[in-house]
Structures are given as C-alpha cells and as structure tokens.
Structure 1
Amino acid sequence: MKIKSITLLFLISVLASCVNTKKITYFNDVVKASGANNTNQYKQLRVQPGDVIQITITTLDKDVSLIFNPQTTAGAAPGTGGMGMEPGYLVDSAGYISLPMVGNVLVKDKTTSEINTLVAQELEKSVRNAYVSTRISNFRVSVLGDVARPGSFKVPAERISVLDALSMAGDLNTSAIRDDVMLIREVNGEKQYVSLNLNDSKLLSSPYYYLSNNDVIYVKPGPNKTFGTSKFVALLPAVISAFSLITTLIIVTVNK
C-alpha cells in the first residue's frame, strides 16, 4: 500500500510539472533543432505613400553636397525635419518626392537600391560622380496585446521578422495564445488580417515572416488572462510538483 501511494504521488508530480508545455513552446512540431531551412525568400521592402525616406547625396563639390544634405537644427533633410518628425523626404499620396535640382521623382513600389540608381541617373544631367544612399527612416512596427512590453518600435534596418518584433516587445506572456497571433498590414490602402501560428515551423517560410513598415502584431490573451490569474496558473505546475514532492518525502519518512 505504501509503495502504491508513493508511486501515485510521483506520477502526479511528474504530470503536474509537464502541464501541456506545447502550448507555450515555439515551433513544437520541430523534432530536432538542427538542419537548415532555405524555403523562405526574403523580399526587399518597397516604398509606399506615407513613408519617409532619407536620401544622402555625396559629390566631390562640398557646396553641391550641402544643397542636397542641408544640416538643420533638427538634423533633417529638406523634405521634412519638424519637431517629432523623422528626417527625410515624405512620399506623397501619388508616390512622389521632390528633390533639389531634380524635381519630382516617382519612388512608389521601388526598393531603396532602385531609388539609388534612379536618383543617380537623374543627377547625372547636372552633377557628376554623385553617390546616393537611401534608407527608410520611419520604419516602425507595433506589438500589442499579451506581451511583456507592448509598444511601437523603430527598426534601424530594412529587415525584421515576427520573432525579432516579439523579442523587442519582451516576448509573449505565458498566458498568450500562440497559435492565432494576428498580423495587420496595410497594402494599397487596404487592411490585411493574417493569422500566424507560432507553434508551427511553417511560419519560418511564410511570406508574412518578415514584416513591412507600419505592420501591427496583436497577441490575443488566453482565457486565464481574463480572470487575472495568469501568474498563478503559470506557477501552478511548479507549486503542485513541489507539494507532491514534499508529501512524498513526509510519507516515506513517517513509514520508515
């Protein structure tokens, strides 16, 4: 009888410490964390109306360079530069920016490397040996919902994944729903809503794995969050396991 009681308590302890960890584990369909995945094809960002692009133009003539890259108190390029605004040229609703000595340039649906080539070609008409560098200066993503630090995050590069964004937000809370994370993206003025499953490794090859400017990730809270018991539920397996272990030790000691 004593052996059966000890065995039963041991099984309860083991089961309690293994309460469905698959629900809080990323990519739990991956049996072994090794190998390579080349199925994901990263696509360069394309500039859209409302973006702010910073174009740096360098020439052998410092005075000419200063025309294209004036230094203001806000450190901004001539396109914008007010308080609270990103430095650069604001892409208008038609997809154009206005450059000194060049005029209107259509940049909509073009990558930064394509804009470099386009601007350099336009400058050749009046400026020789100009070097052009372009970046999207207002690239931001937002992470909302059941995460540690929700907010809007500035992206210094042109490439950021879903996992990068969640990491910037301090990762998901244990109470968060991982198999139905919502991605909100605006394309040509229309909102797209996509469900992402963080438990499935297919996400790594999804066209939505890499984010675009102004993407919003919304992490839905689980049912435990509604009742404000997420921390207790998260600690419950450990509490049960410790209690079972202590009970087992007491029974063994008493029956010696």
Structure 2
Amino acid sequence: MNKKLLLASLLAVLLFSSCSRKSYVYLQDMKGGTGYPYESNYEAVVHRDDRLSITVSSKNPELAIPFNIYGGTFRVGEDGNVSASSTTHVNEKGYRVDVEGNIDFPILGKLHVEGLKVSEVVNLIKRKIIEGSYMNDPIVAVEFLNFKYTVLGAVGHNGTFSVDGDRITLLEAIANAGDLTAKARTDRVTVIREMNGERRMYINDITSKDVFDSPAFYLQQNDIVYVEPKYKKKDNEDRGWQIGTTLLSAITAVCSILWAIK
C-alpha cells in the first residue's frame, strides 16, 4: 500500500474516533461491593387525565358485578360453582380522572383519587364498599392504562413513551430514548413534573450515585425529561480538547509508522 495513503487512512480513523467518543460515565462514584438503599415499595401517584383500570371481585362474584359495569367474565368450575380464584372482571375502558381529580365509580359515585398512590386508591374503594354494606370481602385491583412520559434534548431520539405498568426509572427512560448523545450535559438532566397545580423541576447528575436519592429517579405519569445539551462555549472548549488530542494521537501514530518502515 502507498505510504501516503496509509498515513491518510490512519489520520482519518483517529479523527473520527476522537470526535465521536463520549466523555461521560454513568454513576462513576459508585463503589463495587457497597450496598446502596433503594425504595422497594415505590408506587406511582394518580394525576388528572390518568386512565385507571379498576376491577372488583369477591368470594361471591354476584355481589361484585354492579362494580364492574363495563362487563366481566367468570368461569364455572367442574363442581358447578364459581370460586374467587377463577373470577375475572375486566374494565376495558377504564376510569378517567377528571380535571377535579375525581373518577365516577359505579354505585359509589364520585371518588377523589388525584394525589393518591395506587394502594391508597385500592384502600379507598374497599373502605367505601364495606362502609356501604355492599360486601364484606371486596378484592380490588387498580392499574394505569395510559402511563406515559416524554424525553427531549440531547438523546438518541426524542418522543413520548408508554409504560407497561407504573414503574420506570430515569435511567431506564434515557435508555429507551436511545441513550445520551456526546453533547449531553450529564449534570443537567431535568425532570419537569406537574404536582398540585404547579410545575416543578428536578435537576439530576446521572454521573453520580446521588441520582438514586432524587425525587424524580422514579418517573411519574406525564413527566418530561429534558437532557440539556452543552452550550456553545463548552462545545468550543471540547472541540479544542478533541483537536489537541487528535493531533497528539496523529503525531504519535506517524512517528510509529515512520519508525516501523525505516
């Protein structure tokens, strides 16, 4: 191969690799073998415009039918009886939380659920059913039908994402959006959240283990994750550093090649 062509190819490879390399490491202050506490009982909070799937069942399935107005199915056992374990009531449409934070639930009427955790909604419905003497052993299940969040800024691809369930972390959200780009500011990953009629911002540094303690480490419904890109001044500083590194690497490579082909 022509020596000049070989040198040009090596310089091009060095330039490309230097300019495209990411200069950050996630959770770089974590130590191996060290335990870090986490919130194992985390639950999402209900917000306005959420759509909830709520099902009610009982050992006596006939008593639960009025609380499942969108229809349900049940299976009759070989002995001709219906057991609690074989009863399934399915609310296909779900209950939308209105602008006042309420849902209109069968028999029980309006229930204020905004700001409650899933388990608190379950307990609220159970208590109302028992207090109304409708049944003594209600089994209530609540799930989100439209849990979603949005990721914007210096990530692989921006967009709104849906969650199967109601539990997703900030790091998982970034991964789903194609990871951070080389221009991302890892110390300025902001989560914008609507709470009690106002918007709050939580700024996170994902290179630090402190992100685990952030109120926004677990995302809530309709959260907006914004990854701030580096400013122009910072870009120029990084570009200067990259050019310097590239030149040094290139000189080293050229010297090595010249020494090898003598």
**Shorter-chain TM-score above 0.5:** yes
Distance 1:201 1:237, change over 3 A: farther
Contact kept? 2:56, 2:64, Cα under 8 Å: no
CA-based RMSD of the aligned residues comes to 3.8
For residues 216 and 102 of structure 1, what CA distance do their matches in structure 2 show? Answer: 34
- What is the DSSP-based 3-state SS (H/G/I as helix, E as strand, rest coil) of the residue aligned with 2:186? coil
Aligned pair partner of 1:217 in 215, 221, 225: 225
Q: Alignment partner for residue 258 of structure 2, among 243, 251, 255?
A: 251
Contact 2:66–2:107 (CA under 8 A) maintained in structure 1: no
Secondary structure at 2:166 match in 1: coil
User: Which residue in the other structure is 1:190 paired with?
Assistant: 198
Q: How far apart are residue 170 of structure 1 and its match?
A: 1.3
In the other structure, the counterpart of 1:115 is: 121
Count residues in correspondence: 224
Matched-pair contact (CA < 8 Å) for 2:190–2:226:
yes
Q: Is 1:202 matched with 2:210?
A: yes
The answer as to whether partners of 2:191 and 2:201 remain within 8 angstroms in 1 is yes
Contact 2:53 2:142 in 1 (8 A): yes
The residue aligned with 2:27 is 27
**58 and 244 in structure 1: CA distance in 2 versus 1, 3 angstrom threshold:** farther
What residue in structure 1 maps to residue 170 of structure 2?
Answer: 162
Distance in 1 (CA, whole Å) between partners of 2:61 and 2:207 is 56
Q: Aligned to 1:178, what secondary structure does the other structure show?
A: strand
* Residues 40 and 207 in structure 1, CA contact (< 8 A), matched pair in contact too: no
Instruction: Please name the residue that 2:188 is paired with.
Output: 180
Query: Which amino acid is the alignment partner of residue 100 of structure 1?
Result: P
Listed one character per residue, the Cα deviations across residues 91-139 of structure 1 (whole Å, up to 9, x for unaligned) are 1222221111221122222221122122123223224543210012221
> TM-score, normalised on structure 1?
0.72
Shift in alpha-carbon separation, 1:90–1:237, aligned structure 2, 3 A: farther
Instruction: Point out where structure 1 has 5 or more consecutive residues left out of the alignment.
Output: 1-16, 82-86
Which sections of structure 2, spanning at least 5 residues, go unmatched? 1-16, 73-89
Rounded to whole Å, the distance in 1 between the matches of 2:259 and 2:64 is 87
Which residue type is aligned with residue 126 of structure 1?
Answer: Y
Contact kept, 8 Å, 1:146 with 1:175, in 2: the verdict is yes
1:192 is displaced (CA, Å) by: 1.1
The question of whether the paired residues in 2 share the 8 Å contact of 1:123 and 1:130 is answered with yes
* Aligned partner of 1:91 among 94, 97, 100: 97
Moved more, 100-109 or 34-43: 34-43
Identical-residue share of aligned pairs (%): 26
CA distance in structure 2 between the partners assigned to 1:38 and 1:140 by the alignment = 26
Q: Cα deviation per residue 1:54-99 (whole Å; 9 max; x = unaligned)?
A: 1012243359537615259xxx84xxx7xxxxx3111122222111
Q: Is the 1:42–1:210 Cα contact (8 Å) retained in structure 2?
A: no
SS at match of 1:117: helix
